[in-house]
Amino acid sequence: MSFDGHPGLRIGNFEPGIPIIQGGMGVGISLSGLASAIANQGGIGVIATAGIGYLEPDFVTDLEAANRRGLKKEIMKARSMTDGILGVNIMLALSDHLSLIKTAMDTGIDIIFLSAGLPFRLPSELKIEYIRDSGTRLVPVLSSARASRLILEKWKKIDYPPDAIVLEGPLAGGHLGFSRNQLEDKEITLENIFRETKQFANHFEQRHGIKVPLIVAGGIFSGGDICRFLDMGADGVQMATRFVATYECDADEEFKRQYLDCRVEDLKIIDSPVGLPGRAIDNQFLQQVRAGEKKPYECPWKCLKTCDVANAPYCIGKALREAKDGNFDDGFAFAGSNAYRVNSITHVRELVESLESEYNLALESSRQAVLLK
């Protein structure tokens, strides 16, 4: 597979053959099946860790142990299916994020993507030497130039500049790092967030001689989109929504069908019990919640630090697990703003090949355009 003309994404000593990272998708949407398929195509496959232990017998009695075991199994399973580059996505909002980070490192994961929180400081239990010895690379997922600048400065001070940054814009799926007002602000676009961050990252490189690769995410759908962002100076792209409708995606067929069937007007911003807005495919479950209905649940563990358990109308973990298993009476699917454009299920290989040919076409026409100027 080749994406000609791209300067090459490099995260620490990991050099994927293609500049595509598959965004982590919880609960259970990107596990070993999808992650290994992307890694086999030369990209970076990412296992989502949210709720990963839900098939373990002790998920209700000992969430932390179940998640640790579930994660270890999934990493090892993915490793048995690929020699490519594998990452995990760990949301800092998860109450057991530290245990997940350690487990992933100890199981030899290549890259950890830290999302849903601002890691201004690394947890004090994580010594820099421990991170370095593990060989694992740390990549925060951020939603603003300001956050990126602060993280660059703060991590530089502790002598561990981030190995890359994923900039996730407002068109992404799942929980979003923006308020509802920000989501309506036309000035807040991935392009603008990227340009501003790139400027600072360039200064940072000049000042310290450290290049921090910037990866863009949120709404990237075609090879043309990939070409446009790489042309702007991005080092790679992260894509999630596009990989749901693949045979290798770990979700139930019914989850994929929700993507095939949804229309643009079905993609809604919802208020998640986690306290963040999220983008999802609207359905009866969400309509009932909006109408004030409470969905009964028990919460033996507060799995998300920011969850308002006393007032939450439903358990987001449970709703997402039901959706992963294809039960949309009791759950709903997160999806990016382009989900309505997904109209068939393909193999990851075919999808990556079509992205590559679209990319090459777009590159050719942008070169022609430069020549004609």
Ligand X SMILES: Cc1cc2nc3c(=O)[nH]c(=O)nc-3n(C[C@H](O)[C@H](O)[C@H](O)COP(=O)(O)O)c2cc1C
* Among candidate residues 331, 327, 218, 216, the one with its CA nearest the CA of residue 270: 331
In the complex, the smallest distance separating the C-beta of residue 326 from ligand X, rounded to whole angstroms, is: 14
**Span from 2-10, 53-61, 67-75, 238-246 in contact with ligand X (CB under 6 A):** 238-246
Q: Is 326 left (phi over 0), alpha (psi -120 to 50) or beta?
A: left
Q: Which of 71, 315, 335, 351 binds ligand X (CB under 6 A)?
A: 335
Look-up of token digits 């894509």? 239
By CB under 6 A, the count of residues binding ligand X is 30
Establish if 246 lies at the interface with ligand X (CB under 6 A). Answer: no
In the complex, the smallest distance separating the C-beta of residue 114 from ligand X, rounded to whole angstroms, is: 9
Q: Which is nearer to ligand X, 75 or 116 (CB)?
A: 116
In the complex, the smallest distance separating the C-beta of residue 369 from ligand X, rounded to whole angstroms, is: 26
Contact by Cβ (8 Å): 6, 19: yes
In the complex, the smallest distance separating the C-beta of residue 167 from ligand X, rounded to whole angstroms, is: 10
Establish if 86 lies at the interface with ligand X (CB under 6 A). Answer: no
In the complex, the smallest distance separating the C-beta of residue 190 from ligand X, rounded to whole angstroms, is: 9
- Beta strands (DSSP E) in the chain are 20-22, 44-48, 85-91, 111-115, 137-142, 165-168, 174-175, 214-217, 236-239, 267-271, 277-281
Q: What DSSP designation does 361 have?
A: H
In the complex, the smallest distance separating the C-beta of residue 191 from ligand X, rounded to whole angstroms, is: 14
Establish if 29 lies at the interface with ligand X (CB under 6 A). Answer: yes
Structure tokens at 206: 């000049």
**Span from 2-10, 25-33, 177-185, 204-212 in contact with ligand X (CB under 6 A):** 25-33
Enumerate residues 99-138 that contact ligand X by CB under 6 A. Answer: 115-116
Q: What are phi and psi of 142, to 5 degrees?
A: -130, 160
CB environment 58-69: b (16+ within 10 A), e (fewer): ebeebbbebbbb
Enumerate residues 178-237 that contact ligand X by CB under 6 A. Answer: 217-220
Contact by Cβ (8 Å): 301, 95: yes
Q: What DSSP designation does 148 have?
A: H
Question: Helices 348-372 and 223-232: crossing angle, nearest 10°?
Answer: 50
Q: Which of 241, 246, 258, 272 binds ligand X (CB under 6 A)?
A: 241
**Span from 7-15, 171-179, 195-203, 349-357 in contact with ligand X (CB under 6 A):** 171-179
Q: Which is nearer to ligand X, 107 or 238 (CB)?
A: 238
Establish if 25 lies at the interface with ligand X (CB under 6 A). Answer: yes
Q: Which of 143, 144, 238, 258 binds ligand X (CB under 6 A)?
A: 238
Q: What DSSP designation does 184 have?
A: H
Q: Which of 3, 6, 18, 24 binds ligand X (CB under 6 A)?
A: 24
SS3 344: coil
Binding site residues, ligand X, CB under 6 A: 23-26, 29, 48, 50, 89, 91, 115-116, 141, 168, 171-174, 217-220, 238-242, 334-336, 338
